[in-house]
Structure 1
Amino acid sequence: MASHEAYEGLTEHTARRAMLAACGSAGLPSRPDTELLRLGENALFALPEAGVVVRVARSTGMADKVAKELAVARWLAEYDVPCVHPTDVPQPIEADGRLVTFWTYVPDSSPLASITTLATLLRDLHALPDPAFPLPTLDPFPVMRRRLAAALGIRREDVRFLAEACATAEHDFRALVASSPRHPVHGDAHRGNVLMDGDRPMLIDYEAAAMGPRAWDLVPTAIAVDRFGLPPADYADFVRAYGADVTQWHGYPVLRATRELGMTTWLMQSAQSGPAAEEFAVRMESLREGDRERRWHTL
């Protein structure tokens, strides 16, 4: 069957269609009004009555990435790093041109994880030995190029600027990674990827896991001081808990530029109108002007 991805992006409607089909194949209960937890690079649906979260990837072309996520979760569990486990359902399941996986459901009714909690989880992750299975070298640029190639409803000059900025950043990024020690990294380490099970924090979302500079996992929190209003005192707590300040590393400017392009191209996917379009305009203006202190906003 031809993939719907060629014609339809990952929207709530298309993700829900794949979720329902996959649950039917797996014998799991689901309803058309099943709760959508998150819609980003993947869509997550909650089946609390079955104790399952259903994760819908964008397409069947992400098979290697999906297999990596499952392997990383099992590796973290082996070393008792708190994480969400895949369920015993045979997986992944191909449904409606997408790959679907199933994870243990953890109700998240707690506040956002603290800065020091994230730092401690990253410190523990970075202390692990390399896994027995291969991880790819850290490379965020293919995802950015895919987003730019699929951009709809975005001004042509904005897409062109981002493409040129990515080309420049990619050259510097690859040179830095090639000259730096490589270790397992989470790849998308921010507090939104820490799930609180009561008082117990759990590191989630292993899609971007790779081998690269450990500094990559520290950059999002450092950026948050300038871009998202994180108090400098909170960042100091993060540094103390982790044991290093990434802003003092010579490679920080390169990693920051790359991360900011990634955040902007991610937002671009939903920036056709409304608050996302307004925030995208703010980010584009700051990038064009080289303004590293312009405040951005989470959506």
Structure 2
Amino acid sequence: MNASADLEGLTPASATRALVTACKVAGLRSDQAELLRLGENAIYALPREGVVVRVARSDTGDTEKKVVKELTVARWLMAESFPAVGPRDEFPQPLRAEGRLVTFWEYIPPSQAEPGLADLAVLLRELHALPAPHFALPTLDPFPIMWRRLERAYGVKKQDVDFLSDACARSEAAFRDVVAQRPTGLIHGDAHRGNLLGRGDQVLLIDYEAMAMGPRSWDLLPTAIAVDRFALPRPDYDAFCRSYGSDVTSSQGYEELRTVRELGMTTWLMQNAQSGSSAEEFAIRMESLRKEDRERQWHAL
């Protein structure tokens, strides 16, 4: 990855430069690109071209492994007739552009009916029932990416970075103990309602970057956490549990896994917390983590 890209980080401006460069190579028009999401990746829609473009934060070896895995998983899910979104393999990918890796995916137009938690529960149940893929998947380990975020942190207070570093160090051993004691299988790794798309009467599960082998409870955590953190009504959560078939909050190791998940959510936000609403939300999360306030509401950004 070039030094200037590393210093700047993934911003709307830097991501757009990579988008434009990659689209020129692929023969796509990017002049009407719409930024859908800026997080671990920048996601752009090109409705006129029928393409979604994902711009990764870097083009380093670790990032390349994740991007190649995501493409491989998507192709496998399609072959298994699982409701997934496939890559647009008529374009060369992944492409290197401006120090970042770029991939191209099928564009799904906005649906009038927004997928719900029951849809998520059903898809997770079906995903967890799939046979193991014919290729190797990594074992769930959320800590390397958190450590990289902390090492590259900029524009946030040093005391916040130090606190998060200490919290990650305290949580890592407990996480590994819990995982070692639980059965593992295929997991999505980042299962929440934002990773669902509707296409007619069908609901699709998207974003395969975090797919791994791990405890299936990991995929249920975001919805459980949403009750305390994002004001998800308890009846909605109960319906999710009925649709999936179990309640992760009653499982062994839930509190330890929840702590790790919340640290991941906070270090993810930290990457864009230099100003504005992201900085305000980061401050809220840091205060609640310091006070060990498990019921302080957070806000989805």
Aligned residues: 298
Name the amino acid aligned to 1:51. G
Q: Distance in 1 between matches of 2:22 and 2:181?
A: 43
Using the TM superposition, give the Cα deviation of residue 190 of structure 1 relative to its aligned residue in structure 2, in angstroms: 0.2
Instruction: Report SS of the residue matched to 2:8.
Output: coil
- What SS does structure 1 have at the residue aligned with 2:148? helix
Match of 2:233 in 1: 231
Is the 2:196–2:205 Cα contact (8 Å) retained in structure 1? yes
| Preserved CA contact (<8 Å) 1:91 1:101 | yes
Shift of residue 232 of structure 1? Answer: 0.7
Instruction: Name the CA distance, whole Å, in 2 between partners of 1:29 and 1:18.
Output: 13
- Distance in structure 1 (CA, Å) of the matches to 2:166 and 2:30: 44
2:57 matches 1:55: no
Partner of 2:165: 163
1:25 partnered with 2:25: yes
- The aligned residue for residue 177 of structure 1 is 179
1:183 and 1:127 map into 2 onto residues whose CA distance is 9
- TM-score, normalised to structure 1, is 0.96
Give the distance between the partners of 1:59 and 1:272, measured in 2 at CA. 19
Q: Which position in structure 1 is the counterpart of 2:101?
A: 99
Per-residue CA deviation, residues 151-173 of structure 1 (Å, 9 max, x unaligned), is: 11211111111000001111111
Structure 1 vs Structure 2 CA RMSD: 1.3
Amino acid at match of 2:199: D
- Alpha carbons 1:154, 1:268 under 8 Å: kept: yes
Instruction: Verify the 8 A CA contact 1:186 1:208 in the aligned structure 2.
Output: yes
- Corresponding residue SS for 1:129: coil
Q: Which whole-Å CA distance do the structure 2 matches of 1:164 and 1:58 have between them?
A: 25
CA displacement, residues 196-246 of structure 1 (integer Å, 9 cap, x when unaligned): 123321100111111100000000000000111111100110000000110
Q: What is the aligned partner in structure 2 of residue 78 from structure 1?
A: 79
CA contact (8 A) 1:112 1:191 kept: no
Q: Which residue in 2 is equivalent to 1:65?
A: 66
The alignment status of 1:292 with 2:291, answered yes or no, reads no
Deviations 1:15-70 (A, max 9, x none): 11111111111112222x52111111111111112111111111111110001000
Three-state SS of the structure 1 residue aligned to 2:232 is: coil
- Evaluate the alpha carbon distance shift between residue 5 and residue 171 of structure 1 in structure 2; reply closer, same or farther with a 3 A threshold: farther
Residue in 2 aligned with 1:264? Answer: 266
Work out whether residues 5 and 98 of structure 2, in 8 Å CA contact, stay in contact via their aligned partners in 1: no
Question: Letter of the aligned partner of 1:106 in structure 2?
Answer: I
Larger deviation, residues 104-113 vs 155-164: 104-113
TM superposition shift of 1:265:
0.9
Tell me how far apart the structure 1 counterparts of residues 232 and 197 of structure 2 sit (CA, whole Å). Answer: 20
Shift of 1:110: 3.3
How many Å separate the matches in 2 of 1:77 and 1:176?
Answer: 32
Partner Cα separation in structure 1 for residue 186 and residue 79 of structure 2: 15
Report the equivalent of 1:241: 243
8 A Cα contact 1:56 1:101, kept in partner = yes
Q: Is the 8 A contact 2:6 2:58 kept in 1?
A: no
**Match in the other structure for 2:219:** 217
Using structure 2 for the length normalisation, give the TM-score: 0.96
Query: C-alpha separation between the residues in 2 aligned to 1:109 and 1:181?
Result: 36
The separation in 1 between residues aligned to 2:150 and 2:113, in whole angstroms, is 34
Give the equivalent residue in structure 1 for 2:42: 43
Please give the alpha-carbon distance, in whole angstroms, between the structure 2 residues aligned to 1:70 and 1:4: 27
Which amino acid is 2:101 matched to?
L
SS at match of 1:72: helix
Deviation at 1:3, TM superposition (A): 5.4
Alignment match, 1:277: 279
State the percentage of identical aligned residues. 62
Which runs of 5 or more residues in structure 2 are unaligned?
none
1:195 shift after superposition: 1.0
Residue of structure 2 in register with 1:14 after alignment: 14
Do the aligned residues in 2 keep the contact of 1:48 with 1:105 (CA within 8 Å)?
Answer: yes
For the Cα contact (< 8 Å) 1:112–1:192, is it kept in 2? no
Offset at residue 5 of structure 1 (A): 3.0
